[in-house]
Amino acid sequence: MAERIFTLDDLTGTRSVCGCLTCDLGAVFAHHLTALRTDYPGTVTTLGHRGASPGTTAVPHFLAVRLGDGLADVVVWEEMRPQQLTAWLPAADARARVPQLAARIPSLVRVRQALRAGTFTPSGAAGEALSTGGRYPSFRFLVEHWPTLKKEFTP
Ligand SMILES: [Zn+2]
């Protein structure tokens, strides 16, 4: 599945709690995720401006938003309870990397931009998943393939 490119027109009619651009994008993205996910327990909860509740994990998502001729990467945070995190990311080793990578947003944005620009092509399963169009560089993709990406990406 190709990455969805959001536009500011997608915000038409959106109402988030505070109404700022990030929260409105979060509301649109939560709707998008809810429609996409199967077998996800509970509802998609975005964090807005608050921190994750005790016992939950803050998971970033990258949204590609078209602004004029370019694409901007916007980060929206989702709060996941343990069973939600497991449903979303079944591999335990990848799950264990979530907090570490969630603290490295600028590095991940650089990887996304290099992949998009075609200046970085990872090898093996990561490269194959992207080249066949099966995956796009979502946070989940980055966390799943981080050992390869970290080794091969030169900022
Ligand atoms: Zn807001």
Nearest alpha-carbon partner for 16 in 25, 7, 6, 8: 25
- Please give the pLDDT value at position 91: 97
Q: Which residues of 118-150 are buried (b: 16+ CB within 10 A; e: fewer)?
A: eebebeeebbebbeeeebbbbbbbbbbbbeebe
Of 66, 87, 108, the position where a domain reaches its end is 87
Q: Are residues 31 and 57 in the same domain?
A: yes
- Please give the pLDDT value at position 143: 98
One-letter amino acid of 87: A
Find the 5 Cα to ligand 1 centroid distance in Å.
21
Q: Are residues 61 and 14 in the same domain?
A: yes
Q: Are residues 124 and 48 in the same domain?
A: no
- Please give the pLDDT value at position 17: 82
Find the 26 Cα to ligand 1 centroid distance in Å.
9
- Please give the pLDDT value at position 29: 94
Low-confidence ranges of the chain (pLDDT < 50): none
Domain assignment of residue 98, given as a range: 89-155
Q: Are residues 103 and 136 in the same domain?
A: yes
Find the 25 Cα to ligand 1 centroid distance in Å.
9
| Domains held by the chain: number | 2
Q: Are residues 82 and 125 in the same domain?
A: no
Q: Are residues 51 and 122 in the same domain?
A: no
